[in-house]
A and B are shown apart, each in its own frame.
Chain A
Amino acid sequence: MTGARLLIGLAALACACSAGSAPPAGEVLQVMEDFTMSQTAEGQHLWQLKARKADISLDGAARITEPELLFYRKGVHASTARARKGTVQTGSNDVALEEDVVIVAHAEKTTLHTTRLDYSTKDRRFRTNEEVLIVRPDARIKGKGMEADEALTDITLYKQETVLK
């Protein structure tokens, strides 16, 4: 995180705050559309989060709809993660992706499918305890439980079964 800076941009903002007393935790404070968030280091993109909608709540989390995470390595786009929905922790910026999670790593010609995936900005790694399917031109690899870097160049999969095709 040293030298990194976070930029939050929003194309449109609709405030759902109630005037007067503070809303209970979990209640939506703000709804942002075309939500964009990114992290850079030494002038280069590390990652960029885009979502159709983000519901910001008091509990320090943003519920995001149709999130798309673009990861960069040395400034070059390395992979893209998409899901139906997810959550961003506003303090740590950790992201949890849920439902139809797909990561496409173009250089590695690898696509990963799962139902839930957590991304930690601290060590820049994905983790899940759910079932995972990795599809490559030569193989389909199934497993349960996984840890991987954002470019899918370092993947650890548990209970793996590989079928060559």
Chain B
Amino acid sequence: MTASWALLLLLCGLCSAAGDNGSSAATPSSTTLHEELIGSVVRSARWNIRRGGGNTVEEMTGDVTYERQGRYLRADSAVYDHKSGWLDAKGSILARQSLDRGETISLDGQQGRFNMKTKLGQLTGLDPLDPVRFAFAGATQASGTARRLRWDASAMTAVLEEDVRCSGPQGTASADQALYNHPEGSLTLQGRRPVLQAALPTWSAAVQADSIVFLKLPSLPGTHRLRTLAEGAVRGWILFPKGLKDR
């Protein structure tokens, strides 16, 4: 689960960058944003910019890509409306971020939008059979799916919605919603009685509750400590190997 946590955390930043991508061929709305994007490279088969009526609209089609220092984004097409601040991307959207120590996180979907002014974004899949997918690849692997991802880059919060499923070497989790709050260091699974299953070498467990909350605890750099809280009609079991007493 720690990998999924890191993933959600990084998705907030990554998706913010996706919004920046579309404006890269245009004048950024703030100096800070522009400075952040210096050195970025945007490519597309076709690029059109139209200015008039107090607005500028940029449209990129055909393998639209954005690259900068280990960050890679692509879509089939993207439209950025400077006045409203909305960047709309469509078709085989992929966001990938390389981390230290060779780790990579990725996110893909079919339709996404991000507002450069409000810093709100959303990514959806095509249909239930083609949901939003996210993955973490490194020393451990973790991946998941959801119908929709919404995020607020200013507040550093994200919500995975509808049929949320995460899996990794240490277990799986499923819920109707996963609410990630980076400032609070919390991830809350809720809706449709979330289920958490853990399968570690020394023990395994499963729990179902009205909500399951993961809280990030202070830890040494490069390590993760989580407290897991299950609340509301909690049911579950813990299985220890032979020779250990049940707790």
Show the binding face of A for B, using Cβ within 8 Å. 108, 136-139, 141, 143, 153-165
Interfacial chain A residues near B45, Cβ < 8 Å: 158-159
Contact call B28/A163, Cβ cutoff below 8 A: no
Main DSSP-derived SS at the B contact region: strand
Interfacial chain A residues near B198, Cβ < 8 Å: none
Alpha-carbon separation in the docked complex, A153 to B48 (Å): 10
Contact call A164/B52, Cβ cutoff below 8 A: no
Interfacial chain B residues near A137, Cβ < 8 Å: 27
- Which of these binds chain A: B31-39, B110-118, B129-137, B229-237? B31-39
Contact call B49/A164, Cβ cutoff below 8 A: no
- Our pick among A153, A159, A160 for the contact of B51 (Cβ within 8 Å) is A153
**Apart from A155-B48, A160-B44, 4 more pairs, CB < 8 Å:** A137-B27, A158-B47, A160-B43, A164-B24
B41: Cβ under 8 A from any A Cβ: yes
B225: Cβ under 8 A from any A Cβ: no
**What total count of A-B pairs have CB within 8 Å?**
61
Alpha-carbon separation in the docked complex, A83 to B37 (Å): 33
Contact call B47/A143, Cβ cutoff below 8 A: yes
B207: Cβ under 8 A from any A Cβ: no
Alpha-carbon separation in the docked complex, A43 to B141 (Å): 71
From 37 to 89 in chain B, residues with beta carbon under 8 angstroms from any chain A beta carbon are 37-52, 60
Interfacial chain B residues near A165, Cβ < 8 Å: 38
Alpha-carbon separation in the docked complex, A76 to B35 (Å): 34
Closest to A138 in B: B27
Supposing A163-B40, A164-B37 touch, asked if A157 and B47 sit within 8 A by C-beta, the answer is: yes
CB of A119 to closest CB in B, whole Å? 19
From 1 to 45 in chain B, residues with beta carbon under 8 angstroms from any chain A beta carbon are 24-28, 34, 37-45
Supposing A153-B51, A160-B47 touch, asked if A138 and B34 sit within 8 A by C-beta, the answer is: yes
Contact count band on B: 20 to 34
3 closest A-B pairs (Cβ-Cβ)? Answer: A160-B47, A153-B51, A162-B42
CB of B27 to closest CB in A, whole Å? 5
Alpha-carbon separation in the docked complex, A164 to B39 (Å): 5
Contact call A154/B51, Cβ cutoff below 8 A: yes
**Residue with the highest number of chain B CB atoms closer than 10 Å, among A141, A160, A161, A163:** A160
CB of A109 to closest CB in B, whole Å? 9
Closest to B28 in A: A138
CB of A108 to closest CB in B, whole Å? 7
Alpha-carbon separation in the docked complex, A138 to B30 (Å): 11
Alpha-carbon separation in the docked complex, A137 to B34 (Å): 11
Contact call A156/B46, Cβ cutoff below 8 A: yes
Alpha-carbon separation in the docked complex, A148 to B50 (Å): 10
Contact call A139/B24, Cβ cutoff below 8 A: yes
Interfacial chain B residues near A158, Cβ < 8 Å: 45-47
Interfacial chain A residues near B47, Cβ < 8 Å: 141, 143, 155-158, 160, 162
- Our pick among A153, A155, A161, A164 for the contact of B43 (Cβ within 8 Å) is A161
Contact call A164/B27, Cβ cutoff below 8 A: no
CB of B61 to closest CB in A, whole Å? 10
Interfacial chain B residues near A157, Cβ < 8 Å: 46-48
Closest to A142 in B: B43
Contact call A154/B39, Cβ cutoff below 8 A: no
**Residue with the highest number of chain B CB atoms closer than 10 Å, among A139, A155, A158:** A139
Interfacial chain A residues near B24, Cβ < 8 Å: 139, 162, 164
CB of B95 to closest CB in A, whole Å? 18
Interfacial chain B residues near A156, Cβ < 8 Å: 46-48
Contact call B41/A163, Cβ cutoff below 8 A: yes
- Our pick among B42, B50, B52 for the contact of A161 (Cβ within 8 Å) is B42
Closest to B25 in A: A162
